[in-house]
Amino acid sequence: MSTRERITSVPGLMAGKPTIRGLRITVEQVLRALAAGVREDELLADYPELEPEDIRAALAYAAEVIADEQVFPLHASSSC
């Protein structure tokens, strides 16, 4: 199963955010848990319907989204 098959966006489900296989688990939830230091085995225990491949798909999805991001350099004279 490819990343695109594992990561789905369904209008009306979790506000249309990307979810794992149409479950009520968002890519954002998975990424935030990993960023907070939750280990993969803990995440899988917390969400029994989650599969190790789902976690890798969430990471790959995030990388794809960031790869498409455009970055514009700031000029030294600009103020933020």
Domains belonging to the chain, first-starting first, are 3-67 (1.10.10.10)
Q: What's the average model confidence in pLDDT over 28-33?
A: 98
What is the reported pTM?
Answer: 0.82
Which residue carries 């790869």 as its tokens?
Answer: 67
Q: What is the pLDDT of residues 2-14, one digit of tens each?
A: 888 899 999 999 9
Phi, psi of 8, deg, nearest 5: -130, 155
d(CA 72, CA 53): 34
Q: Tell me: pLDDT of 79 over 70.
A: no
Residue 71 pLDDT: 82
Q: What is the pLDDT of residues 45-72, one digit of tens each?
A: 999 999 999 999 999 999 999 998 888 8
